[in-house]
A = this chain, B = another copy of it.
């Protein structure tokens, strides 16, 4: 599991928790829909600002997103 994939998983879960489409998330976060798609699939990694904008739209804190990413990365199978 690499960092981008872990972030993508967390992003998708949080988006669905908020009952948003990729398009809505993109719009409210001032980002592009195709870029959200790539983030969720681990094809791109966000910058610091992007993390803050997404967290704000998802009614959570950047630090809480990071906690979830960290716990995904620490899971051993």
Contacts and interface: CB of A to CB of B under 8 A. Distances in A.
A61 interface: yes
A1 interface: no
Chain A interface SS verdict (over half): helix
Bin chain A's interface residue count: 10 to 19
Q: How many copies does the complex hold?
A: 2
Interface string A27-68: 000000000000000000111110110000000011110110
A62 B66 contact: yes
Nearest to A52: B3
Contacts of A46: 47-48
A5 to B, nearest CB: 11
B52 A61 contact: no
